[in-house]
Amino acid sequence: MRMIATGDSFIARRIPENDKRAKNIKEWMNGADVRFTNLEITTHHKEGYPSPFSGGTWAMAEPSVLDDLTYYGFNLYNWATNHTMDYLQGGLLATERELDARGLVHAGAGRTLAAAAEPRYIDTVQGRVALIGATSTFHEASLAGDPTPHIKGRPGINPLRYEEVYYVTKSEMETLKQISNNTDIDANEMLNRLEGFSVEGGQDEFLFSGKLFKSADRSYRVRRPVKQDIERLTASIQAARRQADYVIVSLHSHEMEGMDKNKPADFLQDAARACIDAGAHTIFGHGPHVVRGVELYQGRPIFYSLGNFIFQNDSVSYLPSDFYHKYGLRTDANVADGYDIRSDYGRKGLGVNPNVWESVIAKLIWNGDDLQSIELQPINLGFKQARYQKGWPELTDNVEVLQRIKELSEPFGTEIVVADNKAIVVCT
């Protein structure tokens, strides 16, 4: 079984005709049985209402961009991301319609929570493969919901939520309580608890500005996956393991350690390992728009982030009034005005971070349940190009991104050999 895995495909433009970059990548991926990418854009004709919140950019493109992803050969798609609900339920349903019309196998979002969480399958000559998708980065209104006997379900994403607890010293706790008493910062929440609209907390905890604090001998933070979401994920994996030869889990996560995008959050590591324990063969991670390390857990690979495959967030053609208001512009402004202000005229943001524009494509080869090899092929997305030209992937011999992944993987005990302009993950 040969698998290809890429990171985020934030595709907002059509592939230029006779583009050699696309042709070379298509040929490099040719021969794989399954080819995965993360669809990080909604695809529709301005359907649905723009959400009052977004994943950063209200991500919308013409449905024809799906034909370009099909040109590359992708046949497995996650679409549980922080952008899935940029155009609310209407945008989700329209995107689902366009994916289904092309016969594309997609997971992570749907008309109900059960649909968003269920495995989706593809049959190949080398075996049947299941894909399960989830995201930890989303607005709470994006959650899918299941129906009851009297109320229909809610379209949305399959969530991977996490619980967050801040531990502080006794003196720090007293300071928080004093600030809370003086400012009534959590008065509404406290009243909701008294009136039964919120769940009452434990006696040893204190809620401050919506965050849970507990006393300890030092200050630190702990995040853990929500039990309900892990149980739903592992149940899907266990079902898929009995219905397919291989199980892929896709996890979209922007959360990090501190301000370091290169390091996955603690809860994400716990969740990924729990998925492997439940029977998943591999975890394909994405979200922060930079690469992260690779872990071999129980002999199964966890890619904490494969970075970007296509990244064109400065090429979205239409944006709602919320975007212009956010940057102090009138609604009769155009997208070029908005992108200028957001980037401080090209001086800040993702566009000036070279790590955003270097990434990899992973090639995995399996013999039954045994992982035979992992190869990482570097790609370049045009860092030095104009913002309206950036974002198309191109095979490159730049090993800097490979060295970065090698170093980021060392804390997980993963050995990576960089040679001949590619990286090999040592699997034995």
* 337 found inside a domain: yes
- Percent of the chain past pLDDT 70, that is, above it, reads 99
pLDDT tens digits along 298-339: 999 999 999 999 999 999 999 999 999 999 999 999 999 999
Q: What is residue 195's predicted lDDT score, i.e. its pLDDT?
A: 79
* 106 found inside a domain: yes
Which residue ranges of the chain lie beneath pLDDT 70? 199-203
* 232 found inside a domain: no
The backbone torsions φ and ψ at residue 177, rounded to the nearest 5 degrees and listed phi first, read -65, -40
Start-to-end CA span in the chain (Å): 18
Does residue 194 share a domain with residue 304?
no
Helices 65-72 and 20-29 pack at an angle, to 10 degrees, of 50
Does residue 106 share a domain with residue 219?
no
Q: What is residue 191's predicted lDDT score, i.e. its pLDDT?
A: 84
* 154 found inside a domain: no
Does residue 344 share a domain with residue 255?
yes
Domain count, the chain: 2
Q: What is residue 202's predicted lDDT score, i.e. its pLDDT?
A: 62
Residue 114's domain spans which residues?
2-140+246-425
Does residue 116 share a domain with residue 59?
yes
Does residue 216 share a domain with residue 83?
no
Does residue 253 share a domain with residue 215?
no
Does residue 92 share a domain with residue 175?
no
Does residue 32 share a domain with residue 128?
yes
pTM of the model: 0.95
Does residue 257 share a domain with residue 135?
yes
Does residue 167 share a domain with residue 136?
no
Look up the CATH number of the domain holding residue 263.
3.60.21
* 145 found inside a domain: no
Does residue 383 share a domain with residue 318?
yes
* 200 found inside a domain: yes
* 310 found inside a domain: yes
* 149 found inside a domain: no
Of 155, 190, 223, the position where a domain reaches its end is 223
Q: What is residue 338's predicted lDDT score, i.e. its pLDDT?
A: 97
pLDDT tens digits along 134-176: 999 999 999 999 999 999 999 999 999 999 999 999 999 999 9
Does residue 254 share a domain with residue 215?
no
